Chain A
Amino acid sequence: MVTELASLTIAGLAIGSVYALMALAINVVFSARRVVNFAQGDLAMLAGLIGVTLISAWGFPYFLSLIGTAGLAAVIALAIERLAVRPLPPDETNITWILSMVAVAIILSNASQLIFGTDPMAFPSLFSGRPIEFAGIRAAPEQLVAIVFAAIFMTGFSVIQNHTILGKAMKAAARDPDMAAMVGIGVQRYIAVAFATAGAMAAVTSFLVGPMTFVTPELGFSLGIKGFAAAALGGLGTFGGAVAGGAILGLAETLSGAYLGSAVRDSVSLVILCIILVFRPTGLVGEVRVLKV
Chain B
Amino acid sequence: MRTVQKIMRASLWVLSALVALAVAQVTAPSTGMAEDFTIGVISPMTGVGADLGIASQQAVEPVIEEINRAGGVKGMQIKVIFRDDESNPQKGVAAAYELLQRYHANIIMGANLTNVAFAVAPIVNQAKVPFIVMGTGGPLIDPQKFPYSFRTNVPTDLEAATLVNYMLSQGVGKKPGLMVDTTALGQAGEQAIRKALQMHQMEPVAYEAFSPADTDLTAQGLRLQKAGVDVLFVWSNGTQLAHAARSFESVGFNPPVFGGFGMHQESFINLAGPAGNKWAATILRAFTRSQTEPAPAAVKAYVAKMKQRWGDKLTKTVEISALWDDTAHLVVDVLKRATSTNGDALKTALEQTKGFKGMISTYSFAPDKHDGLNPADITIAYALGVVDNIRVRVPGMR
Contact = CB atoms under 8 A, between A and B. Distances in A.
A121 B266 CA distance: 11
Contacts of A7: 218, 222, 251
A163 interface: no
A257 B275 CA distance: 22
Interface in B194-230: 209-211, 213-216, 218-219, 222-223, 226
Contacts of A92: none
A225 interface: no
Given A131-B250, A138-B252, A212-B215, A120 B209 contact: no
Contacts of A91: none
A138 B242 contact: no
A8 B219 contact: yes
A258 B218 CA distance: 8
Contacts of A139: 250
B393 interface: no
A210 to B, nearest CB: 11
Counting chain B CB atoms within 10 Å of each CB, the highest count among A139, A142, A265 belongs to A265
Contact of B216 (A4, A11, A131, A263): A11
Overall SS of chain B's interface:
helix
Interface residues on B, range: 20 to 34
A129 interface: yes
A167 B281 CA distance: 56
Contacts of B270: 119, 121-122
Interface residues of A, number: 32
Interface string B243-278: 100100111100000000000000100110111000
B42 interface: no
A118 B251 contact: no
B271 A120 contact: yes
Contacts, number: 86
B252 A254 contact: no
B27 interface: no
Nearest to B251: A138
B25 interface: no
Contact of A214 (B211, B222, B243, B252): B243
A143 B247 CA distance: 11
B271 A11 contact: no
Contacts of A142: 250
A260 to B, nearest CB: 10
A138 B46 CA distance: 36
A214 B251 contact: no
A131 B273 CA distance: 15
Nearest to B215: A213
B182 A263 contact: yes
Contacts of A258: 218-219, 222-223
Closest 8 CB pairs of A and B: A258-B219, A140-B250, A213-B215, A262-B211, A129-B249, A122-B271, A11-B218, A138-B251
